[in-house]
Amino acid sequence: MDQEQIDVSQLTEDFIEDGIKEGILVYITSVLLMNDVEREAIEKMVSRLVNYQDIPHPKIALHWRLKGVEAENKKRRKELLQKVLDEAQSEVLVYREKSIAPPAKTPSKVFPEYIYKKYESQMEA
């Protein structure tokens, strides 16, 4: 695995596991800019991540309830990230078709599929 894959995987894990948005936002925005996606389209996509909020933890709750809220938040983060990355991938492909310039990255490396594999089995359980 090359350094870029390790970094993207860590950014994804940071968001899904801990709700840390900054790294994945920078990555998505950078890839979209490198592929000449229009600013308005980028704003629309990343605003969903920027505006995302977890379900708040109850102030007084049993341990199992807290675990349930955290599991639901992880599931919601993963689903949101998947939607945003799918939309971003589609936008990159649309702008590539419009452009005569060669793309900054090949389609298979824009948003790698492997970044979700760790979480698929956890979320299905």
Neighbours of 106 (CB within 10 A): 8
Which residue type is seen at 71?
A: A
Listed in sequence order, the residues at least 6 apart from 79 whose beta carbon sits closer than 8 Å to its beta carbon are none
DSSP H helices, 35-62, are 39-50
Task: Walk along the chain (125 residues) and give the pLDDT tens digit of each residue.
Answer: 444 555 788 999 999 999 999 999 999 998 899 888 889 999 999 999 999 999 988 778 788 888 999 999 999 999 999 999 999 888 888 777 776 555 555 444 455 554 444 445 444 54
Which residue type is seen at 43?
A: E
DSSP H helices, 2-124, are 3-18, 22-34, 39-50, 63-98, 107-110, 117-124
104 and 35 Cβ atoms separated by less than 8 Å: yes
This prediction has a pTM of 0.72
